[in-house]
Structure 1
Amino acid sequence: MDRYGGGTSPIRVVSRKRGFRRKRWIKITFVSLLIAGVLWCIFAYWNINRAVTTDPMTGGDVGIILGMSMWGDEPSPGLKERLDYGLKLYREGKFPHFIVTGGLDKPDLKYTEGQGMRNYLVQQGVPDSDIFVENKATSTYENLQFSKEIMNREGWSTAVIITHTFHGRRASEIADELGYERIELGLTDSQIMSMAWHKSREILAYTKWKGKQLILQFDR
C-alpha cells in the first residue's frame, strides 16, 4: 500500500519499467558487441591466412627481414627461420642487399634485433657491405617505416618483405600505407612456433593495426 491506500504508486511502476528497459538495452548492447567481436575475429583470422609468398617472385632492390625477439646474443629460433628463408632468396638472386630491422628488446641485451640479424647473416657468409641495419624499430609499422627511409636514401624502389606467413598480411598492408612502390612477399611457415598462440596474438595485432590505419586516414 502507498500512503494514499491505492497499492503500488504509478511512479514506482514507471520507474520499474524504465529499469527493465535499461537492463534489456544493456543486455542487447553487450550481446551485439560480443557477436561483432566474434565476427571480427573470424574475419581477421581468415584475412591473416590469405597471405602467401609472391609467385612468381621477380625480386627487388632489397630484401627486408622484419625483426623478432633476440635470445641473449643470438636471434631466437623463430627469427632464425626468417633469416634462413631470406638467405635462401638472396642466394637465388632475388635481391642483392638486405635490410635487417629491429630495435633493442631489453635494456640489458648486447645487440638490437637488427645487429643480431646482421651478425647471423655475416656468419652465414653474406658480405657485410650487402647488409643495412636498422636499430630503432619497436613495431612492424616502424620496421617498414624506417626501412623505407633507408630505401629512399639508397635510391631503391622495390623490396621483398620477409617474415612468417601469419605476419604477412599485416606487413603488406602497412607497406601499402607507407607508399612502397611494389611489394613482394617472401613468407615462411614456422616449424617450431605454436601457431595457435601466434595467430591469436596476430589477430590482436591486426585489430590494433586497423585502428591505427583508420586514425591515419582521418589525419590526412
Structure 2
Amino acid sequence: MTLEAELPEFTPEDDGADGPEDRADGPRRRRGRGRWRRSPWFAIPAGIVAGLLAIAVLTPLAVGARIWHQARQDERPRSDAIIVLGAAQYNGVPSPTLKWRLQHALDLYRDGVAPAIVTVGGKAPGDNYTEAGAGRNWLVSKGGVPASRVFEVPVGRDTLESMKAVGKEFDRHHWSSGVIVTDPWHGLRSKKMAEDSGITAAASPTRSGPSVQTRDTQFHYIVRETGGYLSYVLLGKSVQVPDETIKRIHIDPSASPSTSQAPSSSPPPPSSPSPGR
C-alpha cells in the first residue's frame, strides 16, 4: 500500500522576499557594500592627514634651517643706516647684550658701512630711560660717534613694533637700506619685519653673548626663533620673551664687551628690564 502526503507549497513570501527581483537585489546590495568598503575614497583622507603631518614637521625644520643659515651670515653692504635693536638697560647703562650690539654697530660705522646709526627700543613702566636712549648715549659718550649721526627711536616692546617705528624714521630721512645688528638667531625674523616696513635690510649679527655660548643655548634660541618667525608670518604677531641677559647671565654692565665675560655676583639694580628681541 502506498501512502501519499501532500507537502506544503513553497511561496516567495515564505523566504521573506517579494519575488525574484528582491532575491536578486539582495546579493547586489551586498556586493555594492563590499565595493564601497574597498573604494579608494578612503585613501583620500589618509593622504590629506599624511600631507598635513608632513607640512607640520617639515615647515619648522625648513624655517629652523633658514634661521641657522642666516645666523652664519655677516652682511655688510653699503647702507643708509645701521639699526641696533634694543635689549635691556640698567638705569641708562646698557646691559651686556645691548653693549655687545652697540660695540658691533660702532665697528660697522668705523668701517664705513653706513654714515648713521639708529638705536631702537622703548622702556618698561617705571623705567627712567629707554633702550634707544641708553644706546645713543653710549655711542656718543663712549664710542665717540657725533651726536648728529646717531638717531634714537624710543618705541617698541617687541621687534615688530620697533621695526614699524624704524620704517617711519627711514621715511623721514628718505633712507631705504639698513644693516640690522642683533643676535645671530634673530637675523631672519628681524630682516623679514624690516623688509615688510619698507627697508631693504641686511643683518650683521654679534658673535658674543648668552645666545652663542653653548650648543644647548644655540638650539634653544633656534627653536624659539622658529616659533617667533612662524607666528609672524602666519599670524602677523611678534613674540615677546624674557631678556636673555637677565635670564641667562648676570654681568657687570660697566665692564667693556671684550672683558665682561666673568659673572658678577652683584649687578646694579636694573630699571625694569625690557624683553630681549
TM-score (normalizing by structure 2): 0.59
Moved more, 184-193 or 85-94: 184-193
1:18-47 CA distance string (max 9 Å, x none): xxxxxxxxxxx9998777544333222112
Matched residue type, 1:131: V
Residue 147 of structure 1: how far off its partner (Å): 1.0
What letter matches 2:151 in structure 1? F
1:123 corresponding residue in structure 2: 141
| 54, 60, 74: which one aligns with 1:53 | 74
Q: Which of residues 179, 182, 186 is equivalent to 2:198?
A: 179
* Aligned-residue offset at 1:199: 2.5
Separation of aligned partners in 1, 2:202 and 2:51: 39
Greater strand content? 1
Contact 1:103/1:135 (8 A) holds in 2: yes
The alpha-carbon deviation at position 203 of structure 1 amounts to 1.9
* Alpha-carbon separation, structure 1, partners of 2:57 and 2:77: 38
- Identify the range of structure 1 (191-200 vs 124-133) with the bigger mean alpha-carbon deviation: 191-200
Greater radius of gyration (CA):
2
Residue pair 1:100, 1:133 contacting (<8 A) in 2 also: yes
Task: State the partner residue of 2:117.
Answer: 98
Partners of 2:113 and 2:145 in 1: CA distance: 14
Deviation digits for residues 117-166 of structure 1 (CA, Å, limit 9, x no counterpart)? 11211222112211111112122122221111111111222221221211
Q: Normalization by structure 1: what TM-score?
A: 0.73
* Residues 68 and 222 in structure 2, CA contact (< 8 A), matched pair in contact too: no
Aligned to 2:169: 150
1:8 maps to none
What's the counterpart of residue 207 of structure 1? 230
* Residue matched to 1:66: 85
Structure 1 runs, 4 residues or longer, greater than 6 Å off: 29-35
Give the match for residue 63 of structure 2.
Answer: 44
Q: Give aligned pairs, total.
A: 183
- The answer to whether the 8 Å contact 1:61/1:159 transfers is yes
Following the alignment from structure 1 to structure 2, what is the Cα–Cα distance between the partners of residues 138 and 209? 15
Q: After superposition, where does 1:17-36 map in structure 2 within 5 Å?
A: 36=55
Structure with more helix by fraction: 1
Matched, 1:198 2:221: yes
Any conservation in 2 of the 1:61–1:158 contact (CA below 8 Å)?
A: yes
Code of the residue aligned with 2:138 in structure 1: it is: Y
